[in-house]
Amino acid sequence: MSDDGKVTPATGTLNADDATGTTSGTGLERKMESRHLTMISLGGVIGTGLFVSSGYTIHQAGPLGAILAYGVGSLLVYCVMVSLGELSVAMPYAGSFHLYAKRFIGPGSAFTIAILYWLNWAVALASEFTAAGLLMQRWFPDSPSWVWSALFIIVVFALNILSVRLYGEAEFWFASIKVFAIVAFIIIGLLAIFGAIPISGYDHAPLFNNFVSDGWFPNGFAPVFSTLLTVVFAFSGTEVVGVAAGETKDPGRAIPKAVHTTVFRLAMFFIGSIAVMAALIPWHQAGVETSPFVLVFQSIGMPFAGDVMNFVVLTAVLSAANSGLYVCSRMVWSLAKERLIPVRFAKTNFHGVPVWAVLFSMAGSLLALLSSVVAASTVYLVLVAVSGLATLVVWFSVCVCHIRFRHEWAQAGHSVSELGYRAPGFPVLPWLAIVMCIGALVLVVLDETQRSTLYCMVPFVACCYAGYYMLERRRKDKETDTEK
């Protein structure tokens, strides 16, 4: 992609300067590898939603209903990710979402998408830092949680400010801990299911009797739909691959590998974990008071199960915070490169890190954290509501951009074989993702607990569009004054 946002021919090869480890004209550095990309994407998704709240999903939808919901969620993620993979290889640019939207949808939409996505992660950052402080109180009950939150804020800030490779390496190890815990859980759970190891409450192999003991859908089929909405949001974070594309070595090879590896592993981890939980824990006993992982580990007699999972969840929280600050800063950097906000936010240090963008993003998350303490029922509630649908908006825009990209690609006389990475199933998969995103929005309208999100988001989006056109008019006025 050129500096003005136009698509340049994508033949699967990058500019000469990409081989030196820099991104042309940006100041960022291509330091991340395929393994970093995969773990960054996994790290952005696997968090407290799986380790803690998955029991609630089973309790609401039943065993088969939960698996069905996660299966549909995995399909949506796959459709979006292959579209994003093709765009990211053709145009590997940091902060990619809104730049694709600028080219293929419109600059006002691009600005709005960037603001929404930034706010989504800034609010998430605040909640992650709060959660990290509370988790530490299990081991240090007499210490104030804000001290631990402050310590983790400093650690995450340092990881992001020093170098992109350090961020990628830290995220790789954070995510590795989570992946190891999930794999161990699935393996131990399968051994217990088939009677290879004893489990309390059973004098025989449990097998999968809990799946159908109270019928296929014990609460009816309707709860599957409400659970589906929760599952879709649980998969948010996979799209971070697109944000990191501009700082990845050999994106033509690394991005497709990360896309397919990430989707396969997510489906396996989420569906595998849910299947094990549902087989070993009766669905009506699953909830959110205790992590299903802890319940299973305790039932097989694993020592210190609570402490082990507390450590795993803590790394999950720090991993999400690490990714959140990275994504926020690249969105700010990208907006500054487009001169929609002051250009100082696009300046990078000698390690290729946009320092001002990181500082601004951390400040935004700290303000959100403050609002969660002093105005939890007003300001913070609105922030959470506005950011709630940001992922759906991004996914929708990615698929629209993919369809329009292919159309312009063909109009320019290029063949599909020239693409560095060709998304399978085009145009069926991007259209399917668009329909599923619209379906998720319909579920938001029908769900009384989620409907307020739209009441907050619609006026906020209108303000973003108005803000963009005001900024654009001011910029044009300045250009006119300069010419005079």
pLDDT of residue 349: 80
Q: 399 pLDDT exceeds 90?
A: yes
Tokens 């209108």 belong to 462
Q: Are 251 and 34 in contact (CB under 8 A)?
A: no
Give the tens place of pLDDT for each residue, 421-468: 899 999 999 999 999 999 988 888 887 777 888 888 889 999 999 999
pLDDT of residue 310: 85
Query: What are the φ/ψ torsions at residue 29 (nearest 5 degrees)?
Result: -120, 145
Distance CA 320, CA 51 (A): 13
Q: 126 pLDDT exceeds 50?
A: yes
pLDDT of residue 288: 56
Strand partners, 215: 213
Q: 4 pLDDT exceeds 60?
A: no
Q: 80 pLDDT exceeds 80?
A: yes
Can you list the alpha helix ranges (DSSP code H) found in 304-389?
305-337, 355-374, 379-387
Distance CA 63, CA 75 (A): 19
pLDDT of residue 17: 37
Q: Is the dihedral of CA 112, 454, 401, 227 positive or negative?
A: positive
Q: 384 pLDDT exceeds 50?
A: yes
What CA dihedral angle connects 373, 377, 380 and 382, to 10 degrees? 180
Q: Are 76 and 232 in contact (CB under 8 A)?
A: yes
Average pLDDT, the chain: 81
Give the length of the chain: 484
pLDDT of residue 477: 77
DSSP code at position 351: T
Looking at the structure, give the CATH architecture of the domain made up of residues 31-472.
Up-down Bundle (1.20)
- The verdict on whether omega for the bond into residue 198 sits within 30 degrees of 0, i.e. cis, is no
Tokens read off for 421: 């990475």
Say how many C-beta atoms besides its own lie within 10 A of residue 140's C-beta: 11
Q: Is the dihedral of CA 275, 276, 282, 283 positive or negative?
A: negative
Distance CA 51, CA 143 (A): 25
Q: Are 395 and 76 in contact (CB under 8 A)?
A: yes
396 pLDDT band (50/70/90 cuts)? very high
Q: How many CA atoms lie within 13 A of 106 on its CB side?
A: 7
Q: Report, as an integer, the average pLDDT of 147-170.
A: 86
Q: 418 pLDDT exceeds 80?
A: yes
287 pLDDT band (50/70/90 cuts)? low
Strand partners, 22: 29
Q: Is the dihedral of CA 217, 223, 225, 228 positive or negative?
A: negative
Q: pTM score, two decimals? A: 0.84
pLDDT of residue 31: 63
Helix (H, G, I), strand (E, B) or coil at 29: strand
290 pLDDT band (50/70/90 cuts)? low
Higher-confidence residue: 93 or 198?
A: 198
156 burial via Cβ count (<10 Å: 0-12, 13-18, 19+):
buried
Give the tens place of pLDDT for each residue, 96-124: 678 899 999 999 999 999 999 899 888 88
Q: 133 pLDDT exceeds 80?
A: yes
Which sequence spans correspond to the domains of the chain? 31-472
What is the DSSP secondary-structure string of 66-133?
A: HHHHHHHHHHHHHHHHHHHHHHHHHS--TTHHHHHHHHHT-HHHHHHHHHHHHHHHHHHHHHHHHHHH
Distance CA 200, CA 112 (A): 53
| Nearest residue to 420 (alpha-carbon basis) of 296, 245, 159 | 245
Helices 355-374 and 145-162 cross at an angle (nearest 10°) of: 160
Give the tens place of pLDDT for each residue, 171-218: 888 888 888 888 888 998 898 888 888 877 777 777 778 787 777 877
- The CA distances from residue 166 to 238, 322, 354, 440, 484, in Å, are 20, 11, 14, 36, 48
